[in-house]
Amino acid sequence: MNLTSMPGFGDEATWPPYSGHPNDPRADDDGPSDSAIGDRAAELMETPGFTPFDPQNLCEALCEADDQAVTRLADLLREGDTAAAGQALEKLTRDYWEAAARSEAERQINKEAENHPCAGCSSRRCSSCDA
């Protein structure tokens, strides 16, 4: 084998088999923490504090909406297109509360990881966790 075809440091041919380490470039971008955050956010969306169509939550979403979204909603109502206005209102509130739930889920999971006894695995269950 000549030097031009011999793998060197950093070449994938010299890497050990994939073991699931989060810093391995072969790791999926959508790691276990992303799916855990998505699962937790879905759970939160079922709780009263994050239910989009609760009157108080609906009011908060409208108050926090950008002017362009509110103007679009008002224009649809002015035109008498109540079906489109309802869909726009549903999307506006659902988007607001899904983002809020995802943010809260991420905060909760990060807090759990900080309190996890094994700092090396970030609560992804390793041999130290199971011991």
Its pTM stands at 0.62
What pLDDT is stored for residue 118 in this prediction? 61
Tell me whether residue 20 is in a domain.
no
Tell me whether residue 126 is in a domain.
yes
Number of domains in the chain: 1
43-96 pLDDT, tens digit per residue, is 999 988 888 888 898 899 999 988 999 999 999 999 999 999 999 999 999 999
Residue 114: which domain range? 32-40+50-130
Tell me whether residue 97 is in a domain.
yes
Tell me whether residue 27 is in a domain.
no
Tell me whether residue 45 is in a domain.
no
CB-side exposure of 128: number of CA atoms within 13 Å?
9
What pLDDT is stored for residue 52 in this prediction? 83
Q: What is the token pair recorded at 45? A: 């969306």
